[in-house]
Amino acid sequence: MENYICKTCGVQYADSEKPPEECPICLDPRQYVGWGGQQWTTMDELKADGYRNDVRDEEPGLLGIGINPSFTIGQRALLVQTDSGNVLYDCISLIDDDAIAEIRRRGGIKYICFSHPHFYDSMVSWSQAFDDATIIIPEADREHVMRPDASIQYWDGAPYELVPGVTLIQTGGHFEGSAVLHWADGAEGKGALMVGDTITVVPDRRFVSFMTSYPNLIPM
């Protein structure tokens, strides 16, 4: 049995003997099926193909975690580090031993939460690597969970302070359950807002924007 990973969106699926016939995440108008058709990989295949985690400090207390070379739509996860436990905002498809060791050195992961389903990726594998860290999924996006697990806690969308000073806020928009994460101590105490694709930061920093679908340019 394998947990197959979609090569276009990066979402990992529940155990199966063969790849799923289709990826509902990619069939949704907010995503797309690649021109080469539906394709699948696995965690082991990614590692064998030379992919690795890229872990780097974004600012004190905030760690960025990506995949090098870039995979699927180039997702990045952000680890907010606090004395009350660390929160991973968004997820990626690959987790390797070096990333696990570095994150454990910084206190591990207590909660995993998301901007929207295009970042659910290998969330269960990440949870399992960190003592079954609690995964927070909005009830509004339950249908987009492709790998159910006991570590998942469904959330009603009310503002949720995961640890002191780190609050998950459901905004809707890109997805019904789209959410941002507010870190009160971020940016040297000015506060930082992590947004994923919920809000788009554009080159002119006087503005932000919003989209129903980014790859398909469907406005909200």
> 139-175 in b/e burial notation, b at 16+ Cβ within 10 A?
ebbeebbbbeeebbeebebeebebbebbbbbbbebbb
pLDDT for position 217: 83
Q: Which long-range contacts (CB under 8 A, 24 or more apart) does 95-100 make?
A: 95/43, 95/53, 95/122, 95/125, 95/126, 95/129, 96/47, 96/52, 96/53, 98/52, 98/53, 98/55, 99/53, 99/55, 99/65, 100/129, 100/130
pLDDT for position 201: 86
Q: Residue 24: is the preceding peptide bond cis (ω within 30°)?
A: no
Token pair for 6: 């979609």
For the chain, which ranges sit under pLDDT 70?
none
Structural domains counted in the chain: 1
Q: Give the CB-side neighbour count of residue 219, counting CA atoms within 13 A.
A: 1
Q: What pTM does this model have?
A: 0.96
CATH of residue 114's domain is 3.60.15
pLDDT for position 211: 87
Cβ burial, residue 6 (10 Å; 0-12/13-18/19+) = buried
Query: What's the order of all strands across the beta sheet hosting 52-59?
Result: 52-59, 62-68, 77-80, 87-89, 111-113, 134-138, 152-155
- Residue 51's domain comprises 5-219
